[in-house]
């Protein structure tokens, strides 16, 4: 928890220190010509620890970890871009829940999370250094890696390796609509490359949770622009 607070303060502090720099650069630099270009994004996404409250008093505590993804957006103007993204993360978790005798059962595992979403970003200024707000709407899939049925084995002849048998174990999955809001700062390093740092909060509508869980992330985007 202390690490999470420190990282949040560091993020907001860094964003705050960039605003005066942006104001100085806006006076000297020409308008950044983003309109009509495509942004292709490779993000590093740090997800903070989070808790999902389930039904019947159960809960899941997710570890913090790094995630990855890619995205593309079209710059409708110098201040508005529309696009979509794919995010992926693999995090450890500890789950717990009450048993019939009143005691708690606990177990640890890992969850694989994938999000596909459309997003819109509004840049406050037209210059190469600008704060922005962003929002997305999409769908999130979560694989809990909990076995959800008997394993299955299938065999086939491979032209290189001969007769091969592989196994498959079905696992429990959760999925639902997801949406997010974010605040950040963008700097156009050149006509073809930009950097974005943002803080984002997202929500996922999961059927078996007692309420809509929310997740906090810090995102560093490496953006490559193409006209």
Could you write out the DSSP letters of every residue in 2-25? HHHHHHHHHHHHHHHHHHHHHHHH
Q: Choose between 97 and 10: higher pLDDT.
A: 97
pLDDT-derived band at 74, boundaries 50, 70, 90:
very high
Please give the share of the chain, as a percent, with pLDDT higher than 90: 63
36-68 in b/e burial notation, b at 16+ Cβ within 10 A? ebebebebebbbbbbebebeeebebebebeebe
Q: What is the pLDDT of residue 25?
A: 47
CA distance 217 to 112: 16
Task: Name which of 27-41, 113-127, 212-226 the model is least confident about.
Answer: 27-41
Side-chain half-sphere exposure of 85, counting CA atoms within 13 A: 29
Q: Is the pLDDT of residue 24 over 70?
A: no
pLDDT band with cut points at 50, 70 and 90 for residue 27: low
* Higher-scoring residue by pLDDT: 191, 135: 135
Examine the pLDDT at 165 and tell me if it is beyond 90: no
- Residue 84: pLDDT above 60? yes
**Mind listing the pLDDT tens digit for each residue in 176-201?**
999 999 999 999 999 899 999 999 99
Per-residue model confidence (pLDDT) at position 227: 81
Give residue 49's Cα distance to chain centre.
Answer: 13
At residue 36, the pLDDT reads 94
* pLDDT at residue 2 greater than cutoff 50: no
Contacts of 102 (CB under 8 A, 6+ apart): none
Rounded mean pLDDT, 109-123: 97
Q: Please, which pLDDT band fits residue 30 given cuts at 50, 70 and 90? A: low
pLDDT value of position 112:
96
pLDDT above 60 (res 17)? no
Q: What is the mean pLDDT of residues 56-69?
A: 94
Confidence category of residue 208, pLDDT binned at 50, 70, 90 = confident
Topology of the domain covering 2-141+181-226: Porin (2.40.160)
């Amino acid at each position: 928890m202390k690490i999470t607070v420190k990282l949040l303060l560091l993020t907001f502090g860094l964003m705050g220190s960039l605003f005066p720099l942006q104001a100085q650069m806006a006076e000297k630099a020409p308008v950044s010509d983003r309109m009509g270009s495509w942004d292709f994004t490779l993000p590093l996404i740090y997800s903070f620890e989070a808790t999902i409250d389930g039904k019947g008093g159960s809960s899941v505590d997710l570890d913090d970890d790094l995630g990855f993804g890619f995205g593309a957006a079209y710059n409708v103007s110098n201040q508005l871009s529309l696009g979509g993204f794919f995010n992926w993360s693999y995090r450890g978790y500890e789950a717990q829940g009450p048993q019939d005798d009143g005691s708690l059962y606990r177990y640890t595992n890992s969850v694989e999370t994938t999000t596909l979403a459309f997003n819109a970003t509004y840049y406050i200024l037209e210059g190469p250094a600008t704060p922005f707000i962003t929002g997305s709407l999409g769908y999130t899939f979560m694989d809990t890696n909990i076995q959800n049925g008997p394993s299955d084995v299938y065999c086939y002849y491979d032209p290189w390796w001969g007769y091969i048998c592989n196994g498959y174990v079905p696992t429990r999955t959760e999925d639902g609509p997801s949406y997010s809001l974010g605040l950040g700062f963008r700097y156009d390093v050149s006509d073809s490359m930009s950097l974005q740092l943002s803080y984002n909060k997202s929500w996922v509508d999961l059927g078996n949770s007692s309420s809509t869980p929310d997740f906090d992330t810090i995102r560093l985007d490496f953006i490559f622009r193409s006209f």
